[in-house]
Structure 1
Amino acid sequence: MARQTRPLAEHYGDLVRVSLMEARPAGLQTRQLVSATRLTKSQVARGVRHLRDVGAAEHLTPIIWRRRDGYMFSEDPADWIEYEKKQFQQILSRLTRMITGRSTRTWPATPTTSGPSSPPPSSLASARRWPSSPGSPTSNSLTSP
């Protein structure tokens, strides 16, 4: 079941679709879409989401994005498969990092504030845990050790 569309999202999607059809077979970067449609960056993103939702629901030519070409309609199924594989890899990487606890951000080598009250970065990770339940002995784990 497709999401219920809003009139503005549909309007933004139409403007983005017309701009991409005029640029076909080449694609348009986000800033070019902003310039061509006279919409804001967030409105262009909303229009692209609408095009993806409608295209998937009605089995239309999907809109893909490449770093080199930007947003585009491609008739080649190999492009669709490549795009979907990259999207899948991105989601899989996010889930893997979330499950394993790894993130792309790391603690600085030295603490930014000095003094006896600031624990070293290695103990910060162990001090910040969610309480397990209101009455459990570990429910007070957010306080400093």
Structure 2
Amino acid sequence: MRKRSPAAERHAELIRIALLEAAPSGLPLKRLMGACELSVYQTRSGIAALRDLCGERGWPPMLWDRETGYHFCASEAELEEWERQWISERLTQFRRMISGTLAPHLALFPKSRWANYLNTQIAAVEAALEMAASQSR
């Protein structure tokens, strides 16, 4: 369990209430900020705390998408699609890190223990993410 400030927990509770009142439509960030009367920082901090609280307390997860903004989700299909998209984004980040940073590092220092170790580890993570992102439904 991560440490959260009491303020972040208060903000999380305000966000939870606002999302429950708006359900099932959800709220974009700006409307969520307005509904809770929080700054961008406070809202983001509250969102992070609320995500943790959802996991700790067994509440439905909070998702974000372009169409509905932030909302609670209890649909298995929507959760799986969101998770696949999230994994796909991380896979793209890993591939960019490999091609843009790690590959040039290895080209400059081919005997670097750290770069070779990191290359092996990231390749394993990349393979696992690729499998997860492409799992059939």
Alignment of 1:108-123 (within 5 A): none
Does residue 48 in structure 1 map to residue 44 in structure 2?
no
Alignment of 1:1-145 (within 5 A): 2-101=1-100
Q: Which runs of 5+ in 2 are unaligned?
A: 113-137
Query: Residues of 1 paired with 2:7 and 2:80: CA distance?
Result: 30
Q: 1:57 offset after TM fit, Å? A: 2.4
Query: Residues of 1 paired with 2:72 and 2:5: CA distance?
Result: 23
Q: 1:8 offset after TM fit, Å? A: 0.7
Higher relative contact order (CA 8 A, sep 6+): 2
Q: Which amino acid in 1 is paired with 2:22?
A: A
Q: 1:91 offset after TM fit, Å? A: 1.1
Deviating beyond 6 angstroms after TM superposition, the runs of 4 or more aligned structure 1 residues are none
User: What is the percent sequence identity of the aligned residues?
Assistant: 33
Q: Which runs of 5+ in 1 are unaligned?
A: 103-124, 134-145
Aligned residues: 107
TM-score normalised by structure 2 residue count: 0.71
Which structure shows the bigger proportion of residues in helix conformation?
2
RMSD across aligned positions (CA): 2.2
TM-score normalised by structure 1 residue count: 0.67
1:69-115 Cα offsets, whole Å, 9 max, x none, are: 1000122121111111111111111011001118xxxxxxxxxxxxx
